[in-house]
Structure 1
Amino acid sequence: MSFNSIFFLFSALPLFYALYLLTPPKGKRYMLLVISFAAYFWVEPLFSILLLMLACYLYLLNLRMQQVRQYKKLAICMELIGIVLFLLLYFKYYGFLLSGISALTSFDFTLRLLIAPAGISFISFSLISYAIDLYQGKLQKQPKLGDFLLYVFYFPKIIMGPIMRYPDFEAQLKPLRISIAATHEGLCRFVIGLAKKVILANTFAFLFEQISANAALSMLSAWIGAFAFTFQIYFDFSGYSDMAIGLSLLLGIRMPENFHYPYMANSIKDFWKRWHITLSTWFKDYVYIPLGGSRCKLPRVILNTFIVWSLTGLWHGASWNFVLWGIYYFVLLMLERYVLGGFLRKCPQTLRILLTFLLVAIGWMLFAFPDLAQMSDYLKAMFGANGLIDEQSFWYFKNHLFYFLCAVIASTPLFHQIYLRTKAALRLPLHDLMILGLFILSICYLVTSTFQPFLYTQF
Structure 2
Amino acid sequence: MTFSQYDSYLYMYILLLTMIPAIGLGLAGKRIKYYGMAASAFMIYLIIGLDIQFKFLLGFMVWELACIYLFMWSRKKEKNKWTFRLFLLATMMPLIINKVSAKLPIGVLGFIGISYLSFRTIQIVIEIYDGAIKDLKFLDMVYFILFFPSLSSGPIDRSRRFEEEINQAIPRGEYLSKYLMPGIKKVFLGILYKFAVATLIHLYFISNIVPSKSVVPIILYMYAYTMYLFFDFAGYSLIAVGTSYIFGVHAPDNFNKPFLSKDMKEFWTRWHISLSRWFGDYIFSRYVLNAMRNKKFKKRATASHVAQMITMTVMGFWHGLTWYYVAYGVYQGLMLVLTDEFTKKSKIYKKYKKEKWFQRLQIVITFNIVCFGMLIFSGFLDFYVK
Question: TM range, normalised to the smaller chain?
Answer: 0.7 to 0.9
Cα–Cα, structure 1 residues 115 and 231, in superposed 2: closer, same or farther, change >3 Å? farther
> SS where residue 135 of structure 2 aligns?
coil
Q: Compute the displacement of 1:350 (Å).
A: 0.8
Kindly, what percent of the aligned residue pairs are identical?
A: 24
Q: Compute the displacement of 1:18 (Å).
A: 2.5
The equivalent of 2:51 in structure 1 is: none
Q: Compute the displacement of 1:61 (Å).
A: 1.9
The equivalent of 2:262 in structure 1 is: 266
Structure 1 unaligned segments of length 5 or more: list them. 99-110, 378-459
Pick the aligned partner of 1:338 from 341, 351, 375. Answer: 341
Q: Compute the displacement of 1:233 (Å).
A: 0.9
Amino acid at match of 1:10: Y
The equivalent of 2:275 in structure 1 is: 279
Larger radius of gyration: 1
> SS where residue 274 of structure 1 aligns?
coil
- Equivalent pair of 1:201/1:233 in contact (CA under 8 Å): yes
- Equivalent pair of 1:189/1:246 in contact (CA under 8 Å): yes
The equivalent of 1:87 in structure 2 is: 94
1:30-85 deviation line (CA, Å, top 9, x unaligned): 331222133223323223322332343234325414541233xx455334322222
Cα–Cα, structure 1 residues 216 and 190, in superposed 2: closer, same or farther, change >3 Å? same
TM-score normalized with structure 2 length: 0.84
1:340-387 deviation line (CA, Å, top 9, x unaligned): 752345361111100000111111110001763x2559xxxxxxxxxx
> SS where residue 70 of structure 1 aligns?
coil
C-alpha distance in 1 between matches for 2:85 and 2:139: 24
- Equivalent pair of 2:124/2:159 in contact (CA under 8 Å): yes
Q: Compute the displacement of 1:95 (Å).
A: 4.5
1:151-189 deviation line (CA, Å, top 9, x unaligned): 000011121111111111112012243622221221111
Pick the aligned partner of 1:39 from 43, 52, 57. Answer: 43
The equivalent of 2:201 in structure 1 is: 204
The equivalent of 2:250 in structure 1 is: 254
What is the root-mean-square deviation in Å for CA atoms of aligned residues? 2.7
Amino acid at match of 2:365: L
* Pair 1:131-2:125 in alignment: yes
Pick the aligned partner of 2:84 from 69, 74, 77. Answer: 77
C-alpha distance in 2 between matches for 1:215 and 1:208: 16
> SS where residue 171 of structure 1 aligns?
helix
* Pair 1:308-2:311 in alignment: yes
Higher relative contact order (CA 8 A, sep 6+): 1
More deviation in 196-205 or 286-295?
A: 286-295
* Total equivalences in the alignment: 359
- Equivalent pair of 1:41/1:48 in contact (CA under 8 Å): no
The equivalent of 1:155 in structure 2 is: 148
- Equivalent pair of 2:32/2:166 in contact (CA under 8 Å): no
* Pair 1:122-2:104 in alignment: no
Cα–Cα, structure 1 residues 364 and 85, in superposed 2: closer, same or farther, change >3 Å? same
1:73-121 deviation line (CA, Å, top 9, x unaligned): x45533432222211111122354x7xxxxxxxxxxxx32215421221
The equivalent of 1:400 in structure 2 is: none
- Equivalent pair of 1:266/1:352 in contact (CA under 8 Å): yes
* Pair 1:318-2:328 in alignment: no
Q: Compute the displacement of 1:25 (Å).
A: 7.1
> SS where residue 255 of structure 2 aligns?
coil
Q: Compute the displacement of 1:12 (Å).
A: 4.3
Output aligned runs, 1:39-78, within 5 Å: 39-44=43-48, 45-65=54-74, 67-71=76-80, 74-78=81-85
Pick the aligned partner of 1:351 from 341, 361, 364. Answer: 361
Structure 2 unaligned segments of length 5 or more: list them. 49-53
C-alpha distance in 1 between matches for 2:363 and 2:15: 42
C-alpha distance in 1 between matches for 2:287 and 2:14: 48
- Equivalent pair of 2:237/2:254 in contact (CA under 8 Å): yes
Cα–Cα, structure 1 residues 208 and 216, in superposed 2: closer, same or farther, change >3 Å? farther
Output aligned runs, 1:208-247, within 5 Å: 208-217=205-214, 219=216, 221-247=217-243
The equivalent of 2:286 in structure 1 is: 290
More deviation in 206-215 or 81-90?
A: 206-215
The equivalent of 1:172 in structure 2 is: 165
Cα–Cα, structure 1 residues 205 and 61, in superposed 2: closer, same or farther, change >3 Å? farther
1:169-221 deviation line (CA, Å, top 9, x unaligned): 112012243622221221111000111001111222234532442425453x5
- Equivalent pair of 2:342/2:349 in contact (CA under 8 Å): no
C-alpha distance in 1 between matches for 2:252 and 2:241: 8
TM-score normalized with structure 1 length: 0.71
Amino acid at match of 1:93: V
Q: Compute the displacement of 1:320 (Å).
A: 0.8
